[in-house]
Amino acid sequence: MKRYSAFAIAREAARYHTGWERAWRSPEPKSHYDVIIIGAGGHGLATAYYLGKNYGITNVAVIEKGWLGGGNTGRNTTIIRSNYLQDPSAAIYEKARSLYETMSQDLNYNVMFSPRGVIMLAQTEHEIRGYQRTAHANALQGVKTEWIGPERVKQLVPIIELSGPRYPVLGGLWQSRGGTARHDAVAWGYARACSNMGMDIIQQCEVTGIDKSDGNVTGIQTTKGAIKCNKLGMVVAGNSGHLADMAGFRLPLESVALQALVSEPIKPCMDVVVMANTVHGYMSQSDKGEMVIGGGTDGFNNYTQRGSFHHLEETVRALIETFPMISRLKMLRHWGGIVDVTGDRSPIIGTTPLGNCYINCGWGTGGFKAIPGSGWAMAEVIATGEPQGLAAEFGLNRFQEGRFIDESVAAGVAH
């Protein structure tokens, strides 16, 4: 694989861009792999990448029923932060945030990481106490955040209305090293690096069954034929329950749509990310000038990837109180992604009741920001056969002796 650089651009310009290679190969599947990862989204590709980089395991196939990065990786609002209260959550998200900072250099692919800063608004007295507590916890965790007052919020976000009719802005939790990245580029960068290691990325290949023998996984059935493997990783977000059913066990997950939208592009007016949890809306401005807006999950289980007008109205109506200027904007497009949510809103990374089968799921609405940390932890589990490092230390393995445990709230793992 040729390295991308300023010199490469100049060279290709001189020969009319005839020498660019494909970013990754699209081979036919082999009959056997050491590891198969199901799901070519950010988490699946990151798992494959860190298997190769950290453990030298490169006889790997990443199987995708659609196109690379076409699921939740390409359907989110790209926010990256690690300002969580509980130690386990802060640790894995801070690991992910730190990996994002050097990702473009590590992958030789510009993922457009922009540490523009993230403000979580406090709009009630309860939120003031909660965010001040989080700031103290973050200081102990080594995560750099600070509590700021309304004047500082206004300085960072001139377009904000501090004295809203229902929920005035009373301050906020500020993480200056949080920000955004280009979601597609994250998937493409990992895919390019995996392909360069000799891994196979197989798109348009749906898994239709999982082969088992004596309590262990032996391979998978796909629309492109049977493929054998020594180890299997399931990393498919909202479709985790379907794959688990094929493997013969159940997951305590519910799948719901998480919706987002962008406005028509306008001139630069906001260069930070703002999250307003009281009204459950968040907003940033993209490089193209669009206001990127997201909200909460749908109130009912579903597998749709479309937007809905009732949710659009709820999210925008709430944000207009805090940002009156957006009332004059037109919506450009909106969409949905399928997120998988556990009862305690904490992820699952670890072993399963099926031998040599490992699962990474339950990230809910926090999937994109976790991609590199999640891949790092999942690679540890697959390579060693049991939770190590991040996954072990922070209680993400939720199966014990074939039974799912839900003790993470008591253990302090909940977000």
Question: Which residue in 374, 372, 366 sits closest to 83, CA to CA?
Answer: 366
Give the separation between CA 170 and CA 211, rounded to whole angstroms. Answer: 56
Q: Are 145 and 175 in contact (CB under 8 A)?
A: yes
Domain layout of the chain by residue ranges? 28-78+183-252+344-411, 115-179+254-340
Q: What CATH superfamily classification does 115-179+254-340 receive?
A: D-Amino Acid Oxidase, subunit A, domain 2 (3.30.9.10)
Among 46-55, 253-262, 310-319, where is mean pLDDT lowest?
Answer: 310-319
What pLDDT digit, counting tens, does each position of 89-117 carry? 999 999 999 999 999 999 999 999 999 99
Can you give the pLDDT at residue 285?
96
Question: CB-based contacts of 140: which residues, under 8 Å, 6+ apart?
Answer: none
What pLDDT digit, counting tens, does each position of 340-350 carry? 998 888 899 99
pLDDT at 397 over 90: no
Q: β-pairing, 32-38 with 60-63?
A: parallel
Question: CB-based contacts of 245: which residues, under 8 Å, 6+ apart?
Answer: none
What pLDDT digit, counting tens, does each position of 266-309 carry? 999 999 999 998 888 899 999 999 999 998 788 788 888 877 77
Query: What is the secondary structure of 109-158 as a DSSP string?
Result: S----B---EEEEE-SHHHHHHHHHHHHHHHHHT---EEE-HHHHHHH-T
pLDDT at 248 over 50: yes
Tell me which fold the domain 28-78+183-252+344-411 belongs to.
FAD/NAD(P)-binding domain (3.50.50)
Give the separation between CA 65 and CA 85, rounded to whole angstroms. Answer: 36
pLDDT at 411 over 50: no
pLDDT at 371 over 80: yes
pLDDT at 222 over 90: yes
What are the φ/ψ torsions at residue 218 (nearest 5 degrees)?
-120, -15
